[in-house]
């Protein structure tokens, strides 16, 4: 029986990448005088690397291998990323991103039916809080029995570690849960952890090659209002 919905954040709860993360990265680059700009096609390619700090390192190695190899690069990435996070949190608080269609209803239906909610994401914990507060209101972070985010596991998606981390905290098996994802690395992580997985492609994941037999949906609207325990049937 379905006991918990385990949500991805970026691209699943909300379309955060284009008007949120990408814009925040670019503003942080401009403030730092770096002369870098990530447009949509470039950012789509860069999303193959999950995690903002990891994405920054891959980019740095591509465009400036000499300074990327310097001993202070990790600290510089951390500073740049901290600024990017602050900009992102501000953007989200100002309403730059909204929940995807069907998400709010599905969350409410799960809560009404006693289905546990959890989050498994590569994004930074501050970003998750900012998104939940801006879109679902004060108190909404407490709707989630476990929030696995960012660096709590060293290996980010497509590794299954973040899903395993969440399952352990929930005290549930993978078969008790349904994962909601939008991307190839995200659904690979959920499937590798053994969770049945609904995938709804997002703006940047239209061409992602998805793992075999996930439950593919156009969006989450058709899941809202359904009999949740039957979802996995």
The contact set with ligand XBP (CB under 6 A) reads 8-11, 17, 21, 50-52, 85, 121-124, 127, 157, 183, 186
| Closer Cβ to ligand XBP, 151 or 222, answer by number | 151
Smallest separation (angstroms) from Mg ion to the CB of 227: 26
Smallest separation (angstroms) from ligand XBP to the CB of 225: 25
148: partner contacted, choices ligand XBP, Mg ion, none (Cβ within 5-8 A by kind): none
206 vs 60: CA distance, rounded Å: 26
| Closer Cβ to ligand XBP, 18 or 232, answer by number | 18
| 129 carries an active-site annotation | no
26: partner contacted, choices Mg ion, ligand XBP, none (Cβ within 5-8 A by kind): none
- In DSSP notation, 115-146 reads -EEEEE-SS-HHHHHHHHHHHH-TTGGGGEEE
85 vs 72: CA distance, rounded Å: 20
| 10 carries an active-site annotation | yes
- Cβ-proximal residue to Mg ion, closest one: 11
- Read off the tokens for 146: 């476990």
Residue 11 backbone phi and psi in degrees, to 5: 90, -20
- Cβ-proximal residue to ligand XBP, closest one: 52
Smallest separation (angstroms) from ligand XBP to the CB of 156: 7
| Closer Cβ to ligand XBP, 4 or 230, answer by number | 4
CA distances from 92 to 132, 146, 172, 188, 222 (A): 9, 22, 32, 27, 26
Smallest separation (angstroms) from ligand XBP to the CB of 102: 17
196: partner contacted, choices ligand XBP, Mg ion, none (Cβ within 5-8 A by kind): none
Rg of the chain taking only CA atoms, in angstroms: 17
Smallest separation (angstroms) from ligand XBP to the CB of 167: 16
| Closer Cβ to ligand XBP, 157 or 164, answer by number | 157
52 vs 151: CA distance, rounded Å: 11
* Contacts for 14 with CB less than 8 Å, ≥ 6 apart: 20, 97, 98, 99, 100, 103, 131, 135
Residue 118 backbone phi and psi in degrees, to 5: -150, 165
Catalytic residue among 8, 161, 182, 208: 8
| Closer Cβ to ligand XBP, 85 or 146, answer by number | 85
Residues noted as catalytic: 8, 10
């Amino acid at each position: 029986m379905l006991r918990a919905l385990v949500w991805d954040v970026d691209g699943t709860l909300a379309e955060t990448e284009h008007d949120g993360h990408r814009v925040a990265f670019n503003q942080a680059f401009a403030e730092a005088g770096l002369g870098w700009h990530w447009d949509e096609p470039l950012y789509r390619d860069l999303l193959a690397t999950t995690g903002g700090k990891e994405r920054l390192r891959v980019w740095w190695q591509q465009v400036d291998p000499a300074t990327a190899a310097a001993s202070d690069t990790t600290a510089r990435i951390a500073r740049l990323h901290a600024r990017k996070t602050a900009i992102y949190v501000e953007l989200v608080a100002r309403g730059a991103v909204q929940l995807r269609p069907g998400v709010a209803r599905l969350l409410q239906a799960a809560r009404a039916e006693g289905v546990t909610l959890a989050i498994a994401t590569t994004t930074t914990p501050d970003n998750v809080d900012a998104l939940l507060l801006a879109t679902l209101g004060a108190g909404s972070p407490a709707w989630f029995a476990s929030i696995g985010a960012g660096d709590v596991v060293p290996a980010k998606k497509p590794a299954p570690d973040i899903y395993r981390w969440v399952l352990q905290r929930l005290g549930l098996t993978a078969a008790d849960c349904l994962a909601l994802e939008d991307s190839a690395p995200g659904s690979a992580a959920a499937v590798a952890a053994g969770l049945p997985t609904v995938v709804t492609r997002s703006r940047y994941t239209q061409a992602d090659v998805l793992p075999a037999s996930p439950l593919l949906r156009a969006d989450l609207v058709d899941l809202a209002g359904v009999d949740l325990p039957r979802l996995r049937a």
